[in-house]
Amino acid sequence: MAEVTINGVAVDAARFPTPEAAAVHELLRQRALATGLVGAGAGAEALDAAIEGLLAREVATPEPTEAECRQHYAANEKRFTSGELVEARHILFQVTPATPVNALRAKAEVTLSDLLRAPGRFEALARECSNCPSGQHGGNLGQIQRGQTVPEFERALFDGAWTGVRGQLVKTRYGFHIVAVDRRVPGRQLPFETVRERIAGQLRERVQRRALEQYVRVLAGRADVRGVDLGAAATPLVR
């Protein structure tokens, strides 16, 4: 793999989940230095605080309007229910800074293919392969409600009415998951007023992510970026 550098500074990609994440962090570090938010010898904690201050100052995130919140509610009513449950299992292939991600994904894909042909092997393969403590219980996660897992895992569980082993891997910040849903318990619809703040938070996060992506592209366009492409990919986490 080519060395990643930002304005001639070599990036230690091994400390981050992906080379892109490492490059973004270095871009932001250099911007924080240039704007005087942090000194050259700052430690990790001070640097993180400076980057947070930088993003707060330079990345505008407008508040969602009432109309936008209501529109989102109307388009996603099934997501705003109370008492909806799924009984689920999973097998986690965990991504760590030292993990060869492509090889890990390939292993997860092969395991998923095996399970789709023989779903009865789920418990045995969870015990053998999963990096989650639930693996010792056959991957069993018990009953899950909305809001109890990270958003990307929740979307996979609750979007649709499917049961059995999901035909695609679920990618989260923790790694790659093989997911099975054994049973679904429907919930009751929540009124808009009850979930307005939750919707506003979701829309705010979406707008912020888009703004961050644009901000990183602008910084990358002004910098000498080598060994990684920050122009097309979505902005990864900066920490």
Spans of the chain below 50 pLDDT: 232-239
| Buried b or exposed e, range 170-187, using 16+ CB within 10 angstroms | bebebbbbbbbbeebeeb
Q: Residue 139 contacts by C-beta under 8 Å, 6 or more apart in sequence?
A: 89, 90, 91, 122, 123, 126, 130, 132, 180
CA distance 84 to 197: 20
In Å, how far are 69, 200, 203, 209 from 197, measured between CA atoms?
A: 9, 5, 10, 18
Does domain 86-189 correspond to CATH entry 3.20.20.140? no
Q: Three-state secondary structure along the chain?
A: CCCCEECCEECCHHHCCCHHHHHHHHHHHHHHHHCCCCCCCCCHHHHHHHHHHHHHHHCCCCCCCHHHHHHHHHHCHHHCEECCEEEEEEEEEECCCCCCHHHHHHHHHHHHHHHHHCHHHHHHHHHHHCCCHHHHHCCEEEEECCCCCCHHHHHHHHCCCCCEECCCCEEECCEEEEEEEEEEECCEECCHHHHHHHHHHHHHHHHHHHHHHHHHHHHHHHCCEECCCCCCCCCCCCC
Question: Would you state the torsion angle of the CA atoms of residues 210, 214, 153, 53, taken in this order, to the nearest 10 degrees?
Answer: -90
For the chain, the domains span 5-63+195-226, 86-189
Distance CA 181, CA 60 (A): 39
How far is 232 from 220, CA to CA, in rounded Å? 11
What is the model's pLDDT at position 239?
A: 38
